[in-house]
Structure 1
């Protein structure tokens, strides 16, 4: 039996993404407390950026986590799970940093979304392969 199988690999990436979502959520809370805004963004650009960084991650991460979990269920190689998890995680971190630092277009934000899309394409292709193999 492998020391690290696809289930262990999936657990690693799901765990890291959950922690990333928690960090992004805490950044929203910190901005809310700093600017004393309980609901919405109060017209505060820093709070709006933190809200969108968290919101964007919550729009992309859950579907990819389902894909990573299904890779484990179909017993895909751990390397496939790690590639998908790594691409998505680095992409989401870069996107979050880019969006948190500026509401405008930025290099980290652009690379982050590109890596996220590459992770989605990779996950879709590998899952389709296992569906018909």
Structure 2
């Protein structure tokens, strides 16, 4: 599997995660007849935050993963998979955790995995960028 194909795989899955979370928000808006904001509905507010939080983290990570893939052969394939898997699992766990309640293991592990992906991506980009200069 080529590096850009790996990036496309994780981009596709994470975009679908955003789509699922968006559909849950729209379904909640219809169910609770809320047109703007969260209407003070705590359960619906968590669905909105789950989508918004994913929308805050996923795009930056995907840009980083694609950039890493473009630094072929400076970027090892394992780094792309480690970044993509930790991002994807992190976003699934965090989204599930936010929609099911307050502070819980899903939210905690989801953020740890998401931040791990950011650390891997950021470190990998620094390494790849500096390696081109040496």
Q: TM-score of the superposition, structure 2-length normalised?
A: 0.94
Alpha-carbon distance between aligned partners in 2 of 1:56 and 1:22, rounded to the nearest angstrom: 13
Shift of 1:80: 1.4
What is the match of residue 115 of structure 1? 113
Alpha-carbon distance between aligned partners in 2 of 1:117 and 1:37, rounded to the nearest angstrom: 32
Residue 34 of structure 2: SS of its match in structure 1? coil
RMSD (Å), alpha carbons: 0.7
Structure 2, unaligned stretches of length 5 or more? none
Alpha-carbon distance between aligned partners in 2 of 1:77 and 1:5, rounded to the nearest angstrom: 11
Residue 82 of structure 2: SS of its match in structure 1? helix
8 Å CA contact retained: 1:5, 1:77: no
Shift of 1:77: 2.6
What is the match of residue 16 of structure 1? 13
Superposition map of 1:92-107 within 5 A: 92-102=91-101, 104-107=102-105
Deviations 1:18-73 (A, max 9, x none): 00000000010111111011111111111100000000001111110010000111
Shift of 1:128: 0.8
What is the match of residue 86 of structure 2? 87
Number of residue-to-residue matches in the alignment = 129
Shift of 1:130: 0.6
Q: Stretches of 4+ moved more than 4 A in 1?
A: none
